[in-house]
Structure 1
Amino acid sequence: MIYKAHLVVLSFFFFLVIKVNAQNIIVKNAPASSATDISLVSYKTTAPVIIDEDEYPTVKLVAGFFTDDVKRVTGSMPRIGGLDAAASEAIIVGTIGRSKLIDRLIAAKKVHNLEKIQGHWEASLWQIVVNPVPGVKKALVIIGSDRRGTAYGLLQLSRQIGVSPWYWWADVPTKQCKILTISVSKPTWDEPTIKYRGIFINDEDWGLNQWARNTFEKDLGSIGPKTYEKVFELMLRLRLNYLWPAMHEVTKEFGSIPENWQLAERYGIVTGTSHCEPMLYNNVHWDEKIRGKWNYSINRDTIYSTWQKTAMERGNGESVWTVGIRGIHDRGMEAPPNGISERINLVEEVLKDQRGLIKQYASKEWGKVAQCFVPYKEVLPIYDAGLKVPDDVTLIWVDDNFGYIRRLSSPQERERSGGSGLYWHLSYYGRPHSYTWINTTSPALMWEEFHKAWENQARNIWVINVGDIKPMELGIDYFSKLAWKPEAQQANAQPQFLKSFLTEHFNADLIPSLSELLTEFYRLGTVRKPELMDRDWAVSLSDQNASQLQSAYEMLMKKEKIIADRIPSEYKDAYTEMIGLPAKILTSTGLIFMHDRAKVYGLNQKENEAEIEKLKTFLEKQIDLFNNKTAGGKWRYMMPGTITGKNLPAWNSQVAWPWGEIRQPDTSRKSAEPEVIRPAGSANRQSGIGTAKWVTVPGLGNTGQAMALKPVSLNASWEPSDTSAPKLEYDFIANDRQTSVTIDFMPTFRIYPGMQLRVVVGLDNKQLSMIEVPGSNGKEDENGSNRNQGIRNNYVRSIIDLPQMSTGKHTLFIKAVDPGVVIDRISFLTKSIKH
């Protein structure tokens, strides 16, 4: 009987293997059973964490996080110490060149594959070592090439044992178990591809600052050290390393509180500042009455002395120094009125002075001092007109604020030693309309644009605008994975990410339903972000399109409710914060506008008015619950407290609510839908010679099946007559009526100035025309006629009249000419021939 009981127990443990990753590291909820196992926590013992006393403060700090994590999971707290803490089995952690203990293991040749990390940036190595030091029979040794490499190596183990990076920021619960065994079958290493991977906290007056000053940092009355300490921990757990801090007028400047940047140094976070805050100086409260204009051409000495003071104070930290100049607080640059050449001369003078200060005061402790130049908004034309940026400064290219990269480096710019990077938006406040409420930007779009940046050598610095951090959790999480290893992400990145994220954070039986919910959530968010909805948009929809949208919103709302009712109580807070509330906001807002559209057209006035009021009440209740009930009211003030008051309809950063609109819409814009609409991914055939091809990107575009031309490298170009170019073919049936075809492209830009973004369109193997993607030439900003609606709709449209053809089957083809084209859908519109 005892023998049988043992069999039952072993069988039980076998099925509780809880984590496996591609790095040969397995965490088991079962006793150690092989030479490659370390008993982190068993029934009798808890392995200590051994760290050299001279180790970096960042590593010591992270060791504390790790032992806290082990206690969260098992209830047992590992000791932290030097060799005095040694036990039969242990975890030994250290940085090459900083830890004497690790250096001795290396000298004794007990560590293998060291060349994979030594001298590399933020690299980690995991290995089981037998008899590493006296008193320890076996240890899991975690080695970092530098302080962050060591920290990441240990915190990845935290994630493996079941502690989410979002345990605090999204209240993700930790699964409990009493036994943890770590198995490392062979030496395993990892390192990032993108050097600086960062977030920009921005437009924080919407939520984060309101929350901090009213709840988390009431004494300071602003975002400050307590908040940033939580931000820094999250970044380390996500393997992010670079921060542009909050910079709005409501917030105390990051640089004005020494504890902020001292904490960043302790946490090993690289500090920086946004595109309008050069030299680590937060200029939002610059007093022009006292200090003069923020204009270097007439107030050089005052501005220079301010930068000098900042450089002296913060020169010892690890930073990326933003150089150049813009206006105060994201305003346009104040410069000589005489023209572009004077502006170029001014900025070149600024760059020379700034680099002199950096050379004089910035520490070389962390290697060559990193500098970046961000040609954002009015600065881009100055750069394109001939501004000379020093070769070792990283050029950070920008998107159009709506996710589409304006330009990347030319072949000549790719030779620069400073390389290039990317600044990109998950959240935006400004013209033509803001979106700072929820995150509907799909991982598929992030992959498409960032992978384009990767393929075109923008690989040094990636930073994303994340607004208030909440509720951008999924977007930030995906960015952290994408930036770590962009070359490992393929076109099916969105479904793969959703599966892995949901597996990590929710019950297994809910993963298929949650994945379907989020897939449709991102698709409908691509059709129209709730912040970009207005009456003109709703009224312009055809009856067919409006009916389909209303049905989709209703179905998603029902699906969300079914899932919400199934979520276990311990996961409800995390679900509400990351998935549930965003889905409710999107669906409720969409339905409000669909019912308002019906009202405008005089359909069932009373019924639609009642539905609108019902939806308003529902949405107001959900936001109230989020603020006051979720996580026990922890996130109060993170969302606006009311809808029908002034917060949402009065503030242009959010929805243009129909009950706040006075202007009557243009109802004459109502139009018929094409008879046949096909996702680009439904092509009947694809042809072409070579490695380039059209690839369906799941989750991309209005259809969720947009096709992107891959690769997007500069050598992927063809002459219009080239028969080897990648070609898509769509079969259709023609009748005796005139036919036109509509092609909806995603509003991407040409790769760099001087290039174009074109395709050839033909019928039955005969070329008809060559089309340039509307608005792709970079000659207009987001307020221009092509891009204004294009960025709201996430498509731009070309219409081609087809010649008269015989009744029956025909084939439309689209052939590649330039890299970077993304096709969302094809629509065939037929109409009677006029006699």
Structure 2
Amino acid sequence: MEYTLFEKKKKSLQIFLETQSFTGVQKIAEKIADDFLKITDERPQIVNTLQDTVSIAIGTYGNSELIDSLCKAKVLDAAKLEGKREVYVHKLIDHPCKTGKLLVVAGSDKRGTIYGMFSLTEYFGMTAMNDWGDVAPQKRKLLTIPESYEYYSKEPSVKYRGFFINDEWPAFGTWTTRHFDGFTVKMYDHIFEYLLRMKGNYLWPAMWSSSFLLDGPGMASAELADEYGIVICFSHHEPCLRSSEEWDLVRGEDTKYGNEWNYFKNKQGLLTYWKEGLKRSGHLENMITIGMRGERDSSMLGENSTLYDNISLLKEIIHNQKAMIRECVKRDTDQIPMMLALYKEVEAYYYGDETTEGLNAWDEL
């Protein structure tokens, strides 16, 4: 048997979302309301009171009175949500306010809830390629769901899933400059939406000619990513939450940062630069790039340096960066995710050789 959620000119959709819901979840609720508009030509109203006209209820375990009460009453299985990472449930239940049914979308956390919301409209024909490939959903006058419908997603097997906007010129750069006046938050909102619809959670922003933490304008793009639960990480040669283009804006012999992108020659200037970056955006959900390499994919100590010299210098850099991260980054968890990306000119530092121990044998890494 099928239960009718929506029928053209007969039964409208209405979405319930509590006022204390995460702001990112509230913003995604507006997006799925737009999805339903594209599918049915009618945009659901979003309400903060559970009433008999509500057909879909959305909430996050531990952040929603409704979801927590449904778990306590064993309508939802709390064991499949509590402590789980990025899990969601869809379940058609008896409506608390009337005779009929209520479709519940609940997440174990913020990302789980968002995935559940986008999965719901995908169930009815929406696609992540609507924005990127002009793939419009098929129009529907009737939306139904099995009366016994219940689905719990599994925890993702890969913790961080995303992509790097690399080599962005001319195609991507031209597109975002033409439509969004640059690498702004208006553009990244589309990127974030696409990533979340694809069940991603991780992004290296474009970096050839832009600074993610400046071009939002300001930190607007980073703050929106945090609202949506997207983990931001900078590329392989942009440590401690600072972009390479930003360095070019602040460097100089007469500045506190100095002019050389070289730890051996400009240790204090670079430590100051990195520490300020960690203080500025370390409170957001990031994966922090550590290590260092020379400018424009080059080696730092030059051709005449030994493998031992380079590994020793990199160990000192990483040790000091991790000390700053512990000092500056305020997190609820003791585990702050960090990444060392080994590109071609520093790969040898990881493995070492017959006479020189590499980073792979270093306990601190």
TM-score normalised according to structure 1 size: 0.40
Structure 1 127/98 Cα, relative in aligned 2: closer, same or farther at 3 Å?
A: same
Structure 1 123/48 Cα, relative in aligned 2: closer, same or farther at 3 Å?
A: same
Shift of 1:174: 2.0
Whether 2:309 is the aligned partner of 1:348: answer no
Correspondence for 2:106 among 124, 139, 143: 143
Q: Which residue of 2 aligns with 1:266?
A: 227
Shift of 1:186: 4.5
Q: Which residue of 2 aligns with 1:91?
A: 56
Shift of 1:57: 1.1
Kindly provide the CA deviation profile for residues 718-747 of structure 1, in whole angstroms up to 9, marking residues without a partner as x. Answer: xxxxxxxxxxxxxxxxxxxxxxxxxxxxxx
- Aligned equivalents of 2:85 and 2:197: distance in 1? 17
Contact 2:201–2:230 (CA under 8 A) maintained in structure 1: yes
Whether 2:140 is the aligned partner of 1:180: answer no
Shift of 1:183: 2.6
Shift of 1:202: 1.1
Structure 1 285/83 Cα, relative in aligned 2: closer, same or farther at 3 Å?
A: closer
Structure 1 76/366 Cα, relative in aligned 2: closer, same or farther at 3 Å?
A: farther
Whether 2:44 is the aligned partner of 1:108: answer no
- Aligned equivalents of 1:174 and 1:150: distance in 2? 22
Whether 2:247 is the aligned partner of 1:283: answer no
Contact 2:61–2:81 (CA under 8 A) maintained in structure 1: no
Q: Which residue of 2 aligns with 1:307?
A: 274
Whether 2:30 is the aligned partner of 1:64: answer yes
Q: What SS class does the counterpart of residue 280 from structure 1 fall into?
A: coil
Structure 1 296/120 Cα, relative in aligned 2: closer, same or farther at 3 Å?
A: same
Correspondence for 2:201 among 241, 252, 257: 241
- Aligned equivalents of 2:362 and 2:137: distance in 1? 49
- Aligned equivalents of 1:392 and 1:182: distance in 2? 53
Contact 1:296–1:335 (CA under 8 A) maintained in structure 2: no
Shift of 1:234: 0.8
Q: Which residue of 1 aligns with 2:174?
A: 210
Shift of 1:185: 3.2
Question: Which runs of structure 2 are paired with 1:688-767 in the superposition (5 Å)?
Answer: none
Structure 1 364/41 Cα, relative in aligned 2: closer, same or farther at 3 Å?
A: farther
Alignment-mate amino acid for residue 237 of structure 1: R
Whether 2:210 is the aligned partner of 1:252: answer yes
Shift of 1:366: 6.6
Contact 2:14–2:53 (CA under 8 A) maintained in structure 1: no
Whether 2:335 is the aligned partner of 1:374: answer no
Contact 2:210–2:245 (CA under 8 A) maintained in structure 1: no
Whether 2:119 is the aligned partner of 1:156: answer yes
Contact 2:115–2:199 (CA under 8 A) maintained in structure 1: yes
Structure 1 88/212 Cα, relative in aligned 2: closer, same or farther at 3 Å?
A: closer
Q: What SS class does the counterpart of residue 252 from structure 1 fall into?
A: coil
Shift of 1:242: 0.5
Whether 2:159 is the aligned partner of 1:195: answer yes
Q: What SS class does the counterpart of residue 126 from structure 1 fall into?
A: strand
Q: Which residue of 2 aligns with 1:48?
A: 14
Contact 2:301–2:310 (CA under 8 A) maintained in structure 1: yes
- Aligned equivalents of 1:333 and 1:54: distance in 2? 50
Structure 1 364/40 Cα, relative in aligned 2: closer, same or farther at 3 Å?
A: farther
- Aligned equivalents of 1:66 and 1:390: distance in 2? 48
Whether 2:53 is the aligned partner of 1:81: answer no
Kindly provide the CA deviation profile for residues 553-601 of structure 1, in whole angstroms up to 9, marking residues without a partner as x. Answer: xxxxxxxxxxxxxxxxxxxxxxxxxxxxxxxxxxxxxxxxxxxxxxxxx
Structure 1 40/196 Cα, relative in aligned 2: closer, same or farther at 3 Å?
A: farther
Q: Which residue of 2 aligns with 1:358?
A: 325
Contact 1:88–1:137 (CA under 8 A) maintained in structure 2: no
Q: Which residue of 1 aligns with 2:259?
A: 292
Q: What SS class does the counterpart of residue 240 from structure 2 fall into?
A: helix
Structure 1 78/366 Cα, relative in aligned 2: closer, same or farther at 3 Å?
A: farther
Backbone CA RMSD of aligned residues: 2.1
Alignment-mate amino acid for residue 269 of structure 1: I
Q: What SS class does the counterpart of residue 168 from structure 1 fall into?
A: helix
Q: What SS class does the counterpart of residue 244 from structure 2 fall into?
A: coil
Shift of 1:184: 6.2
Question: Which runs of structure 2 are paired with 1:764-803 in the superposition (5 Å)?
Answer: none
How many residue pairs get matched?
Answer: 349
- Aligned equivalents of 1:390 and 1:46: distance in 2? 62
Structure 2, unpaired ranges of 5+: 353-357
Kindly provide the CA deviation profile for residues 211-254 of structure 1, in whole angstroms up to 9, marking residues without a partner as x. Answer: 222x2133xxx222121111111111111111101111xx2211
Question: Which runs of structure 2 are paired with 1:518-667 in the superposition (5 Å)?
Answer: none
Contact 2:88–2:105 (CA under 8 A) maintained in structure 1: yes
Alignment-mate amino acid for residue 180 of structure 2: E
Kindly provide the CA deviation profile for residues 457-489 of structure 1, in whole angstroms up to 9, marking residues without a partner as x. Answer: xxxxxxxxxxxxxxxxxxxxxxxxxxxxxxxxx
Q: Which residue of 1 aligns with 2:132?
A: 169
Kindly provide the CA deviation profile for residues 23-82 of structure 1, in whole angstroms up to 9, marking residues without a partner as x. Answer: xxxxxxxxxx44xx3514454122311112111111111111111111111111111122
Select the structure of larger CA radius of gyration.
1
Alignment-mate amino acid for residue 284 of structure 1: E
Structure 1 361/303 Cα, relative in aligned 2: closer, same or farther at 3 Å?
A: same
Q: Which residue of 2 aligns with 1:715?
A: none
Contact 2:61–2:67 (CA under 8 A) maintained in structure 1: yes
Structure 1 41/365 Cα, relative in aligned 2: closer, same or farther at 3 Å?
A: farther
- Aligned equivalents of 2:364 and 2:61: distance in 1? 28
Q: Which residue of 2 aligns with 1:636?
A: none
Question: Which runs of structure 2 are paired with 1:394-405 in the superposition (5 Å)?
Answer: none
Alignment-mate amino acid for residue 296 of structure 1: Y
- Aligned equivalents of 1:333 and 1:87: distance in 2? 66
Correspondence for 1:325 among 265, 268, 292: 292
Shift of 1:167: 0.8
Contact 1:280–1:322 (CA under 8 A) maintained in structure 2: yes
Correspondence for 1:232 among 185, 188, 192: 192
- Aligned equivalents of 1:145 and 1:76: distance in 2? 29
Q: Which residue of 1 aligns with 2:301?
A: 335
Shift of 1:106: 1.2
Q: What SS class does the counterpart of residue 210 from structure 2 fall into?
A: coil
- Aligned equivalents of 2:288 and 2:322: distance in 1? 9
Contact 1:50–1:92 (CA under 8 A) maintained in structure 2: yes
- Aligned equivalents of 2:334 and 2:152: distance in 1? 22
- Aligned equivalents of 2:24 and 2:199: distance in 1? 13
Kindly provide the CA deviation profile for residues 111-148 of structure 1, in whole angstroms up to 9, marking residues without a partner as x. Answer: 13x322321111111112213x3357421111111101
Shift of 1:158: 1.3
Kindly provide the CA deviation profile for residues 789-826 of structure 1, in whole angstroms up to 9, marking residues without a partner as x. Answer: xxxxxxxxxxxxxxxxxxxxxxxxxxxxxxxxxxxxxx
Identity %: 30
- Aligned equivalents of 1:93 and 1:87: distance in 2? 15
Structure 1 100/299 Cα, relative in aligned 2: closer, same or farther at 3 Å?
A: same
Structure 1 151/195 Cα, relative in aligned 2: closer, same or farther at 3 Å?
A: same
- Aligned equivalents of 2:309 and 2:85: distance in 1? 40
- Aligned equivalents of 1:57 and 1:298: distance in 2? 45
Shift of 1:88: 5.0
- Aligned equivalents of 2:52 and 2:298: distance in 1? 62
Instruction: Identify the structure with bigger relative contact order (alpha carbons < 8 Å, sequence gap 6+).
Output: 2
Contact 2:17–2:47 (CA under 8 A) maintained in structure 1: yes
TM-score normalised according to structure 2 size: 0.89
Structure 1 367/104 Cα, relative in aligned 2: closer, same or farther at 3 Å?
A: farther
- Aligned equivalents of 1:233 and 1:391: distance in 2? 39
- Aligned equivalents of 1:383 and 1:261: distance in 2? 31
Q: What SS class does the counterpart of residue 161 from structure 2 fall into?
A: strand
Structure 1 78/392 Cα, relative in aligned 2: closer, same or farther at 3 Å?
A: farther
Correspondence for 1:121 among 65, 74, 85: 85
Contact 2:94–2:100 (CA under 8 A) maintained in structure 1: yes
